[in-house]
């Protein structure tokens, strides 16, 4: 079945790196995503990775994909208080027209 | 506007009433998606449109829920005879032709059923 799991909370100090982890069960994922949601706001697409890649870097964000273990991570370098938000991992399955399956979200708290 | 817009931003209704939620996708985007975010269920897929047709309605929770899209643009999600468990934030997303990998979300409509 389709299932995406994330830990619910992460707390870091400003300036440290944050690593948010996600596991998924369906091996037919085509793309894997990280979305950010700030309080009272919609979902902001942060980055995504095609399933045949193992790493993608975009400024302070690094996405690592271990397809064998079905494990996705998002590393935020030099975390700032403005990074405090809920981060959702999602997968898009092959041949299902763009339907996204989301994890429960990880609440990142950045302390000054 | 440049992004996906949704209206109303907040809707409070009484149990048993019908509600309509509207989504305006990014101009030129051919695919449109509805999701629901609730405390108990997290983020769930409801339905998606490619143009005006809906190839996948698998996520609609009951026959009280329906959606349509006209002119390949605006979509309306209708919930009939609302129940308290329908209370949630309803999110709409759109993506360009042949680029379903890039879904951009609107701010959502917060529905509260009393």
**What pLDDT band is residue A2 in, cutting at 50, 70 and 90?**
low
Chain segment A50-69, per-residue pLDDT in tens? 988 999 999 999 999 999 99
Are B107 and A42 an interchain contact pair (Cβ–Cβ within 8 Å)?
A: yes
DSSP H helical ranges for A53-98: none
Question: What tokens appear for B1 in the block?
Answer: 């506007």
Q: Which residues of B touch A35 (CB under 8 A)?
A: 105
Chain segment B47-58, per-residue pLDDT in tens? 999 889 888 888
Q: CA dist A11 to A7, A73, B112, Å?
A: 12, 16, 31
Whether A42 shows a pLDDT value over 80: the answer reads yes
Are A44 and B33 an interchain contact pair (Cβ–Cβ within 8 Å)?
A: no
Q: What is the pLDDT of residue B85?
A: 94
Measured between alpha carbons, how far is B31 from B44 in angstroms, rounded to an integer? Answer: 17
Q: How many Å is the Cα radius of gyration of chain B?
A: 13
Chain B residue whose CA is closest to A38: B107
Q: What is the pLDDT of residue A66?
A: 94
Q: Which residues of B touch A96 (CB under 8 A)?
A: 56
Answer yes or no: are the C-beta atoms of A82 and A102 closer than 8 Å.
no
| Low-confidence spans in chain B with pLDDT less than 70 | 1
Question: What tokens appear for A104 in the block?
Answer: 């429960």
Q: CA dist B51 to A68, B35, B99, Å?
A: 36, 17, 13
Question: What tokens appear for B76 in the block?
Answer: 């309306």
How many other CB atoms sit within 10 Å of the CB of residue B12?
12
Best of B49, B100, B104, B108 to substitute, by most chain A Cβ atoms within 10 angstroms, is: B100
What's the sign of the alpha-carbon dihedral A97, A4, A50, B6?
A: positive
């Amino acid at each position: 079945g389709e299932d995406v799991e994330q830990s619910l909370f992460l707390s870091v100090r400003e300036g440290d790196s944050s690593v948010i982890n996600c596991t998924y069960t369906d091996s037919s994922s085509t793309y894997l995503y990280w979305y950010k949601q700030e309080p009272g706001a919609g979902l902001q697409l942060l980055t995504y990775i095609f399933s045949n890649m193992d790493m993608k870097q975009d400024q302070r964000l690094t996405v690592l994909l271990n397809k064998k273990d079905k494990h996705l991570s998002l590393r935020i370098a030099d975390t700032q208080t403005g990074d405090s938000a809920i981060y959702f991992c999602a997968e898009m399955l092959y041949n299902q027209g763009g339907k996204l399956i989301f994890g429960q979200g990880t609440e990142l708290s950045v302390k000054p | 506007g440049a992004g996906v817009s949704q209206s109303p931003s907040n809707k409070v209704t009484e149990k048993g009433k019908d509600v309509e939620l509207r989504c305006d996708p990014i101009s030129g985007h051919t695919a449109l998606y509805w999701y629901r975010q609730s405390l108990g269920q997290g983020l769930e897929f409801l339905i998606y449109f490619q143009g005006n047709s809906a190839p996948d309605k698998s996520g609609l929770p009951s026959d009280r829920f329906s959606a349509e899209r006209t002119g390949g643009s605006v979509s309306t999600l209708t919930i009939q005879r609302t129940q308290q468990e329908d209370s949630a934030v309803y999110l709409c997303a759109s993506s360009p032709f042949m680029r379903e990998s890039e879904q951009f979300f609107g701010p959502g409509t917060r529905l509260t059923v009393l």
